[in-house]
Structure 1
Amino acid sequence: MKLSLLSILLFSIILSCKGQNIDYSKVFLENPNSVSVVDSSHIFSTSENFELATKLVQYGEKTTRQIAVVTVDSISPYNDIQKYATDLGKYWGVGQNNLDNGLLIVLSKPLRKVAIATGFGTEKVLTDSICKQIIDSVMIPKFKTGDYYEGVNMGVDRLIIIWNTAK
Structure 2
Amino acid sequence: MKLFFKIIILSFLTTSGCKLQQNEKNEINTNAPKAEFTEFDLGESDLSTLKNVVNDYESLFTIEQLEKLTLLIREYEKKTSNQIAIVSIKSIGKYTDFSQFAIDLSNYNGVGQKEKNNGLTIVFSKTLKKIRISTGVGTEQVLTDEICEEVIEKTIIPEFKKGEYYLGIEKGITELMTKWE
Which TM-score band (shorter chain)? 0.7 to 0.9
Amino acid corresponding to residue 47 of structure 2 in structure 1:
F
CA positional deviation for 1:24? 7.4
1:126–1:159 contact (8 Å) kept in structure 2: yes
Counterpart in the other structure of 2:162? 145
Q: Deviation per CA, 1:78-108, whole angstroms, max 9, x where unpaired? A: 2222111110110000000000000000011
Give the corresponding residue for 1:103: 120
Alignment of 1:29 with 2:29, yes or no, is: no
**Residue of structure 2 in register with 1:43 after alignment:** 60
SS at match of 2:176: helix
- In structure 2, relative to structure 1, the CA distance for the partners of 1:92 and 1:25 (3 Å cut) is farther
Mapped partners of 1:52, 1:158: distance in 2: 14
Deviations 1:119-165 (A, max 9, x none): 0000001001110110000000000000000001000011001001x
4+ residue runs of structure 1 moved beyond 4 angstroms?
Answer: none
- Which residue of structure 2 aligns with residue 54 of structure 1? 71
1:118 to 119, 128, 135: 135
Whether contact under 8 Å (1:24, 1:91) holds in the other structure is no
Aligned partner of 1:150: which letter?
Answer: L
| Equivalence for 2:13 | none
Q: Secondary structure at the match of 1:50?
A: helix
Unaligned runs of 5+ in 1: 1-22
Give the match for residue 99 of structure 2. 82
Structure (1 or 2) with the larger CA radius of gyration: 2
Q: Root-mean-square deviation (CA), in Å?
A: 1.4
Percentage of matched positions with identical amino acids: 40
Scaled by the length of structure 2, the TM-score of the pair is 0.75
Q: Deviations over 1:18-66 (max 9, x none)?
A: xxxxx9753111232xx21010110101100110011001100111000
Q: Which runs of 5+ in 2 are unaligned?
A: 1-41
